[in-house]
Every structure is written in structure tokens, then in C-alpha cells.
Chain A
Amino acid sequence: MIDNLYADIGYHSLTKHGEIVCGDNVKKIDCPDGSVVLVLADGLGSGVKACILSTLTSTIISRMVAENLPISYCVHAIAEALPICSVRKLAYSTFTVISISPNGLAHIVQYDNPGIALIRNGKEVPLPFVRTTYDEKMIESAQVQLLKGDVLISFSDGAEHAGVGPGMSYAYGWGRDNIVEYMEPLCHVGFSAKTLNTILLDECYSRYDGRPGDDTTALTVYMRTREQVNLMIGPPANREDNEKMLSLFFSKEGKHIVCGGTTSKIASEYLGKPLKVSLDFEDDDIPAMGSIEGVDIVTEGIITINKVLEYANDYLKDNETYSQWCYKRDGASTISRVLFEEATDINFFVGRAVNPAHQNPDLPITFSIKMQLVRELAECLRGMGKNIRVSYF
């Protein structure tokens, strides 16, 4: 993308209270030319029927848009393909399509979903929508050049109506404009798309008193620049490779994270700067951090990374532990913030030296566990849409 522009994407759904499946669906397609297509569909009703309608809609449209077919074709194809509800005599699913080309040009098409918002410099900017009618359906479409820092927020009507329901305190729901107003000041804090999205849905959840009256989905796109981060863990299997591993690691652009006691020691020797270890025990479970001039983060190895992996797994599911790692100063939280929120490209430098002290049957840490941790963490980070490169030494 131009100027290293990168579309950071987050989406998640809350399922209507009492239903087992969600009637909203989000599909994301990464096209070979580097563009990305996103569709948020909301099927009529709730439960399995709605789920089928929205999944068909999002799947068909995303595929067709990815193949560059005109939107009129897509709308027609949906009308032909959706099964008609025997109760309501209707085949219906609302949708919002966002297609972003590698240079940051966005095509937005929406049909009956609450209006998508573009937030630029903390304020909503109106989108130049053009209205067209296909098959008696009024479709709005707009084109906009996205800039660094822009945030697009789209949501299903479950968010708009958050708080409506028996015994709930919001007679008219949260409201589209109120949601946008709530999100505006948060958009230039630097939160990742996933975090912004979680903040929005958390507010919906609490307005529904934990019992969503409708399927509620939000989709957030945050336009940012690529940010490379380098993480080194473990000394190389052969001592002679120390120099090679360290010089490659420190020649990389971006932040440098060094994990592990021995690893920190060889990094400090390589840089000729002392390794200092703090006595601040921020967290009971996580060992204190260290510091070396020239290294951004210095931590203990396996216990810290194990915790980062725990946070990463949760980030991809409910993101409930966000409330912990977002502010805590221990090593695992600090690494999590950099890897999950800041980084778009991460280089892992993994040394395969076996720490003889760790091969003790009394301890729950072994060499194979360390390799496993790194593999799983890399997988999770890929799942967050980041480019990951792992080199072994």
C-alpha cells in the first residue's frame, strides 16, 4: 500500500441471548493483488435461519466483489440464491461491503445496515454516497481515499438497538449517531482495530445487561502504517553463531525485544551495555523485567512468553484479558501491547540452545515446550493478520 499503509481489521459478534448461533456474519477475503474485501451481513430474524441467510450473503458477495464483478450482479445473485422464509415470505439479509485496494482507495456499498462511519482525526467525515435501486432494493455506494489514521466502523442494528428490551433502561437503544460519537475520541488513541471493536461491543453488552436482545456485530478498519518488531528468544544452538544471530537481529529496523536470561546476557555483551534487572515485581506470576540500553524490552523467557501466548489465544477469542494486559507493567503485558497493538510485521529470532538447567524433571519447562510456545505464538499472531517470519539459529 502507498506510504506503507496497512488496513488493520477487527470484527466480532455477540449472539442474541438464548440463541446458539449468531444471525450476523462477517467475511474477509484477502485478494492476490493485495486488496481486502469485507462483508458484514445481518440475516432476517435470529438463530439458524438468520445465520444461513447472512452466511450465504456475506460469502456470495465477498467472493463476487473479490472477482471485481459489478455490485448490481451481486445484489441480483443474492436475490436469486437466498431461500425464502416460509413464515415471512421474504428472503432478506442486510449487508455492508468494504473493499480496500492496496493504495488505500475504499469502495463502500451498504444495504439497510446502520450507516457506516468514517472517523478522521477524531471526527466523523460524511461519505459521498450515491443511491441506486436494483431489484427494488435501494443500495448506497461511495468511494473514498483512506488516509493514515482513518477508522471505518460498521455495525449491525443490534448495536444501534443496544439497551432495548424488557426491563432494560434504554427505551430507544444506543443509536447510530451516539455510537459514532462514543467512538470518535477513542479513534486517535492508537488502539488496534480489534481493541476499538471490543470497546464498542463491550458497551453494547453492558447496555443489554449481558443479555443481548439481538445479534450484535461490529467491524472496524484502522488504517495505519506498517510497524516492524523483532523478538529474540534463546541463545543459538552453537556458541559460534552468537555473533551472527545478534548482528542480524540488531540490524533490523523497528523495536527489539529480548526474552530470556542467557539471551539477555549475550545481547548485553554484544552491545557492550550492562544488563540491569529490576526488583519491581509488578505481577505475582511474571518475573521482573530487565533493561539494556539499545533494547526496547528485556524480559525473562519461557514464563513470560507462556503468558503472552495465553493473552494471544484469548485475544483471538473473547479478548477478555485485554483489561489486564492493556495497562499492566509486567513483561508479558508489555510484550503483548507491542506485539498485538503496534506490530504489523514480526521477526522471531529463535535460538535452539538447550538450557541444561531447564531439563530438570522437577520443572515444568523444557526445551521442547519453548519451541512449541514460539510456534503457537507465531500462529496466533498470524491469526491477528500480522506478517510473521521465524528464523532458527
Chain B
Amino acid sequence: MTLTICIGSSCHLKGSKKVAQTFERLIEENNLKDKIEFHATFCMGNCQKGISVGIDDKVYSVTPETAEDFFAKEVLARLGK
């Protein structure tokens, strides 16, 4: 699975760094390094609804507060965990 986080201007200001750190921690804690390809990207063209996070080709909106929840519901669920 490819997990992408937008670090463009707008998402950066909304706190994409915090979301990225949360994801990095959760990937580590759940031992998913070989299952998830996690990387950053510049603007995903979804600024109004940011912070933009992509799972494969689908774009979602996440905030630092919902990041943990999002990871459980969308990422872990998809991996059957």
C-alpha cells in the first residue's frame, strides 16, 4: 500500500508535519514498514480540504487530531488488521 502525505504550503500550515509524525510512529508500532510505502509529496491540488492524505490513488482529508483514528479506520482496516 502507498500512503502519501501532502506537505505543500497549505497543508504544511494546517499541520501536515504532525500527521506525518503520527503516521511514522504508527507504522513503526504496528510493524508495517514492509507493508506500507510512506512518502511525502508537494501540493496534491486538494488544499481547501487539506490536510491531504493519499492511500494508493484515493485522496482523504485528515487533521492532526483525526490522524490516529484515520490510521486505524482506513489504513489498518485495509490491511486486515
- By a beta-carbon cutoff of 8 Å, the part of chain A in contact with chain B is 260-262, 264-265, 275-279, 281, 284, 287-288, 290, 300-303, 355, 357-358, 360, 363-365
Interface size for B (C-beta < 8 A) is 20
Q: Are B9 and A287 in contact (CB under 8 A)?
A: yes
User: What are the residues of chain B within 8 A of A265 when measuring CB–CB?
Assistant: 42-43
Give the top 3 A-B pairs by smallest Cβ distance, nearest first.
Answer: A357-B47, A261-B42, A261-B43
Taking A275-B42, A277-B40 as given, write out 7 further A-B residue pairs in contact, using a Cβ cutoff of 8 Å, ordered by the A residue number. A261-B42, A276-B39, A278-B40, A288-B7, A303-B12, A358-B10, A363-B10
Q: Are A300 and B42 in contact (CB under 8 A)?
A: yes
Q: Are A279 and B38 in contact (CB under 8 A)?
A: yes
- CB < 8 Å: which of B7, B17, B45, B47 contacts A360? B47
Q: Are B42 and A264 in contact (CB under 8 A)?
A: yes
Q: State A262–B9 Cα separation when bound (angstroms).
A: 11
Q: Are B43 and A279 in contact (CB under 8 A)?
A: no
Q: A265-B42, A360-B47, A360-B48 are in contact. Are A279 and B20 (CB under 8 A)?
A: yes
Q: Using CB atoms, name the residue of chain A closest to B38.
A: A279
Q: Using CB atoms, name the residue of chain A closest to B47.
A: A357
Count of inter-chain pairs, beta carbons less than 8 A:
65
Q: Are B40 and A358 in contact (CB under 8 A)?
A: no
User: What are the residues of chain B within 8 A of A261 when measuring CB–CB?
Assistant: 8-9, 42-43
User: What are the residues of chain A within 8 A of B48 when measuring CB–CB?
Assistant: 357, 360
User: What are the residues of chain B within 8 A of A287 when measuring CB–CB?
Assistant: 7-9, 12
User: What are the residues of chain B within 8 A of A260 when measuring CB–CB?
Assistant: 42
Task: Check: B24 CB closer than 8 A to any chain A CB.
Answer: yes
User: What are the residues of chain A within 8 A of B38 when measuring CB–CB?
Assistant: 279
Q: With both chains docked as a complex, state the minimum distance between the C-beta of A189 and any C-beta of chain B, in angstroms.
A: 33
Q: Are B17 and A284 in contact (CB under 8 A)?
A: yes
Q: Are A277 and B9 in contact (CB under 8 A)?
A: no
Q: State A301–B8 Cα separation when bound (angstroms).
A: 8
**10 A–B pairs (Cβ distance < 8 Å), ordered by A:** A262-B43, A277-B39, A279-B39, A287-B12, A302-B9, A303-B9, A303-B12, A357-B43, A358-B47, A365-B9
Q: State A300–B44 Cα separation when bound (angstroms).
A: 13
Q: Are A363 and B39 in contact (CB under 8 A)?
A: no
Question: What 0/1 pattern do residues 1 to 32 of B give for CB contact below 8 A with A?
Answer: 00000011110110001001100100000000
Q: Are A365 and B40 in contact (CB under 8 A)?
A: no
Q: With both chains docked as a complex, state the minimum distance between the C-beta of B9 and any C-beta of chain A, in angstroms.
A: 5
Q: Are B40 and A303 in contact (CB under 8 A)?
A: no
Q: Are B12 and A300 in contact (CB under 8 A)?
A: yes
Q: Are B17 and A281 in contact (CB under 8 A)?
A: yes
Q: Pick the most buried of B12, B21, B48: most chain A CB atoms within 10 A of its CB.
A: B12
Q: With both chains docked as a complex, state the minimum distance between the C-beta of B41 and any C-beta of chain A, in angstroms.
A: 5
Q: A262-B43, A279-B40 are in contact. Are A363 and B13 (CB under 8 A)?
A: yes
